[in-house]
């Protein structure tokens, strides 16, 4: 096979952090090549070097046999390199074809025809005239991929493409990727999901602490082998939870009806749930079915006003009218889905980010910030949650995605909350760290905390939740005991096909 791209001795540092150290990488033509490694191993940095977002400090980039300088994404695109980022870059209020016309030259009508052609050819069907806000995450991803394909790429970089997709759409995406490979396109595929890598990739390069530690054919390795290569030791075993008694009710939603101000939001209808200390309730569902609206209602970002004060109760008290800070004072803690911007302020240090939610832990006295306490708390989060960073003074934006997630989880768990709401607790977190986060959540439950988890990953919900409810079109299914249901039944609820009456109502 011929090499499409070769990196030779490529290095990149950010200040004192060497994110990539003398990396050699060969991507063959018409291959699907996985890049795997723990959080902070240097995967995103490497992709940024290939796509021209950053330039290497050292080393050579050889594209189709010729040494090449990729100094900007526009250069990369011109060479035939496309990239689909984890966070989509589409404008919600524009149509599909309007979004595409921002990057791809051509008349709208011609582009619309091409969108349909590519859609039919690669299983990427999407209506070119639909507004992006009306599309599911899977459809948005298709738009991003089509937009890259219209520029005729030879190499397509996908950064954790399946983390935004419901399980049903993953297999479809894989079919598309296989078709692309048959047409001669190479794909660089970043994922933490080892089984997916084994299913779709024909080569894999494993990074650890910025260096290449292994090159394997993932089809010949087990998921456990791949995990061991990534973390350099055996995977921590999942720990079963202890038998535990339920405490008092910590969260109650009583027939909540709510239409958000956001014109593209989902109306919640007749939503009821009850959660007690010492249990984990998981909310399953395909994203875009009211998860965002539910989280906002519980966290206090959306308030219901006086009339709705009793329809949400926290720690037994009417809370529908309370704001976010007042709810935290009752013992509520919250890990939002968006870690940058909502979970942490990007240009503030980790220590100052600690202060934002943990200030009541003796960090402010007589109006003065107790820097020592702030730093101690931050250091404990960093150490206990194995956050790979130089220390409390590093700005949040400089952490890798998974490491920032670990920090935010640590910060909220350390508060010892009575009620913890987590949205996508292990999103973008590597397999070792995800196991550790789930273990900590189970331990927190065993100490009596009530935990509500929203997650796209059904396997995660089945692993740690005592009960499950499914959100579909703004309505919540009955509560199902995890031990008495299965993924097929939950899947039916996710697609809105299950009957509303159910035998397993808890």
Ligand X SMILES: Nc1ncnc2c1ncn2[C@@H]1O[C@H](COP(=O)(O)OP(=O)(O)OP(=O)(O)O)[C@@H](O)[C@H]1O
Q: Are 58 and 11 contacting, i.e. CB atoms less than 8 angstroms apart?
A: yes
Q: How many residues contact ligand X, by CB under 6 A? A: 20
Q: Based on CB atoms, which residue is closest to ligand X, 138 or 428?
A: 428
**Binding of ligand X at residue 399 (CB under 6 A)?**
yes
Rounded CA-CA distance 154/64 in Å is 10
Start-to-end CA distance of the chain, whole Å, equals 58
Stretch that binds ligand X, among 23-31, 181-189, 393-401, 410-418 (CB under 6 A): 393-401
Binding to ligand X (CB under 6 A): which residues in 94-153?
none
Among 25, 41, 101, 229, binds ligand X (CB under 6 A): 41
Q: Based on CB atoms, which residue is closest to ligand X, 407 or 493?
A: 407
Rounded CA-CA distance 169/165 in Å is 6
Rounded CA-CA distance 281/47 in Å is 37
Q: Based on CB atoms, which residue is closest to ligand X, 218 or 300?
A: 218
Question: If 0-12 CB within 10 Å is exposed, 13-18 middle and 19+ buried, where does residue 66 land?
Answer: exposed
CA torsion through residues 462, 464, 466, 467, sign: negative
Q: Based on CB atoms, which residue is closest to ligand X, 38 or 279?
A: 38
Stretch that binds ligand X, among 40-48, 99-107, 119-127, 354-362 (CB under 6 A): 40-48
**Binding of ligand X at residue 14 (CB under 6 A)?**
yes
494 alpha carbon, distance to own chain's centre:
19
Q: Based on CB atoms, which residue is closest to ligand X, 360 or 390?
A: 390
Among 138, 153, 285, 401, binds ligand X (CB under 6 A): 401
**Binding of ligand X at residue 474 (CB under 6 A)?**
no
Rounded CA-CA distance 413/484 in Å is 29
Q: Based on CB atoms, which residue is closest to ligand X, 56 or 402?
A: 402
**Binding of ligand X at residue 308 (CB under 6 A)?**
no
**Binding of ligand X at residue 398 (CB under 6 A)?**
yes
Shortest reach from residue 498's CB to ligand X, in Å? 35
3-state secondary structure of 230: helix
* Radius of gyration of the chain measured on its C-alpha atoms: 23
**Binding of ligand X at residue 425 (CB under 6 A)?**
no
The DSSP secondary-structure symbol of 307 reads G
Phi, psi dihedrals of residue 424, rounded to the nearest 5°: 50, 65
Shortest reach from residue 378's CB to ligand X, in Å? 16
The DSSP secondary-structure symbol of 344 reads B
Among 23, 32, 45, 145, binds ligand X (CB under 6 A): 45
**Binding of ligand X at residue 426 (CB under 6 A)?**
no
Stretch that binds ligand X, among 181-189, 284-292, 394-402, 492-500 (CB under 6 A): 394-402
Q: Based on CB atoms, which residue is closest to ligand X, 44 or 311?
A: 44
Stretch that binds ligand X, among 34-42, 109-117, 227-235, 321-329 (CB under 6 A): 34-42
String of DSSP letters for 100-169: HHTTS-S-HHHHHHHHHHHHHHHT----TTSBGGGS-HHHHHHHHHHHHHTT--SEEEEESGGGGS-HHH
Q: Based on CB atoms, which residue is closest to ligand X, 77 or 388?
A: 388
**Binding of ligand X at residue 388 (CB under 6 A)?**
yes
Q: Which residue is nearest to ligand X (CB)?
A: 402
Among 4, 10, 21, 39, binds ligand X (CB under 6 A): 39
Stretch that binds ligand X, among 32-40, 66-74, 163-171, 231-239 (CB under 6 A): 32-40
**Binding of ligand X at residue 285 (CB under 6 A)?**
no
**Binding of ligand X at residue 354 (CB under 6 A)?**
no
Which residue stretches of 271-358 are H helix? 291-299, 324-329, 350-358
Q: What residues form DSSP beta bridges with 396?
A: none
Helix H or strand E encompassing 3: strand 3-14
**Binding of ligand X at residue 19 (CB under 6 A)?**
yes
Stretch that binds ligand X, among 273-281, 319-327, 395-403, 491-499 (CB under 6 A): 395-403
**Binding of ligand X at residue 448 (CB under 6 A)?**
no
Secondary structure string (H, E, C) spanning 447-492? CCCEEEEECCCHHHHHHHCCEEEEEECCEECCCEEHHHCCHHHHHH
Shortest reach from residue 251's CB to ligand X, in Å? 31
> How many Cβ atoms from other residues are within 10 Å of residue 152's Cβ?
10
Shortest reach from residue 191's CB to ligand X, in Å? 10
Q: Based on CB atoms, which residue is closest to ligand X, 131 or 398?
A: 398
> How many Cβ atoms from other residues are within 10 Å of residue 259's Cβ?
12
Footprint on this chain of ligand X (rule: CB under 6 A): 14, 17, 19, 37, 39-45, 388, 398-403, 428, 430
């Amino acid at each position: 096979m011929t090499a499409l791209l070769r990196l030779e001795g490529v290095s990149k540092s950010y200040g004192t952090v060497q994110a990539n150290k003398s990396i050699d990488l060969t991507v063959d033509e018409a291959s699907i090549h996985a890049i795997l490694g723990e959080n902070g191993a240097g995967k995103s940095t490497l992709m940024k070097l290939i796509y021209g977002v950053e330039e290497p400090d050292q080393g050579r980039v050889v594209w189709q046999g010729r040494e090449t300088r990729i100094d900007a994404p526009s250069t990369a695109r011109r060479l035939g390199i496309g990239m689909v980022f984890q966070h989509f870059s589409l404008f919600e209020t524009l149509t599909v074809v309007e979004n595409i016309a921002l990057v791809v030259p051509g008349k709208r009508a011609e582009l619309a025809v091409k969108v349909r052609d590519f859609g039919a050819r690669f299983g990427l069907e999407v209506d070119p005239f639909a507004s992006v806000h009306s599309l599911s995450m899977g459809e948005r991803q298709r738009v991003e991929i089509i937009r890259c394909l219209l520029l005729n790429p030879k190499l397509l970089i996908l950064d954790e493409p399946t983390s935004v997709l419901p399980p049903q759409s993953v297999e479809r995406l894989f079919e598309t990727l296989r078709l692309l490979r048959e047409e001669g396109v190479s794909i660089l595929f970043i994922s933490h999901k080892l089984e997916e890598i084994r299913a779709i990739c024909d080569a894999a390069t494993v990074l650890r602490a910025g260096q290449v530690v292994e090159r394997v054919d993932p089809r010949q390795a087990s998921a456990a082998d791949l995990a061991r290569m990534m973390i350099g030791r055996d995977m921590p075993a999942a720990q079963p939870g202890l038998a535990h008694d339920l405490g008092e009710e910590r969260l109650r939603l009583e027939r909540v009806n709510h239409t958000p101000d956001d014109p593209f939001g989902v109306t919640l209808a007749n939503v009821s749930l009850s959660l007690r200390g010492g249990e984990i309730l998981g909310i399953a569902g395909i994203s875009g079915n009211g998860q965002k609206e539910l989280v906002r209602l519980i966290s206090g970002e959306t308030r219901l006003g006086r009339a709705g004060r009793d329809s949400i109760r926290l720690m037994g008290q009417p809370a529908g009218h309370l704001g976010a800070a007042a709810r935290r004072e009752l013992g509520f803690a919250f890990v939002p889905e968006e870690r940058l911007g909502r979970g942490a302020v990007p240009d503030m240090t980790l220590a100052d980010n600690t202060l934002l939610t943990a200030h009541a832990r003796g960090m402010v006295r007589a109006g003065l910030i107790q820097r020592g306490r702030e730093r101690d708390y931050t250091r404990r989060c960093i150490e206990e949650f194995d956050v790979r960073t130089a220390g409390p003074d590093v700005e949040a934006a400089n952490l890798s995605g998974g490491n920032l997630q670990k920090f935010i989880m640590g910060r909220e768990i350390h508060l010892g909350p009575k009620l913890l709401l987590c949205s996508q607790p292990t999103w973008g977190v590597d397999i070792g760290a995800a196991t550790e986060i789930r273990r900590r959540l189970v331990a927190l439950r065993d100490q009596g905390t009530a935990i509500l988890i929203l997650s796209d990953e059904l396997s995660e919900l089945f692993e740690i939740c005592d009960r499950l409810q499914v959100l579909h079109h703004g309505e919540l299914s009955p509560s199902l005991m995890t031990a008495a249901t299965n993924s097929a039944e939950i899947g039916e609820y996710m697609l809105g096909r299950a009957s509303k009456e159910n035998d397993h109502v808890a």
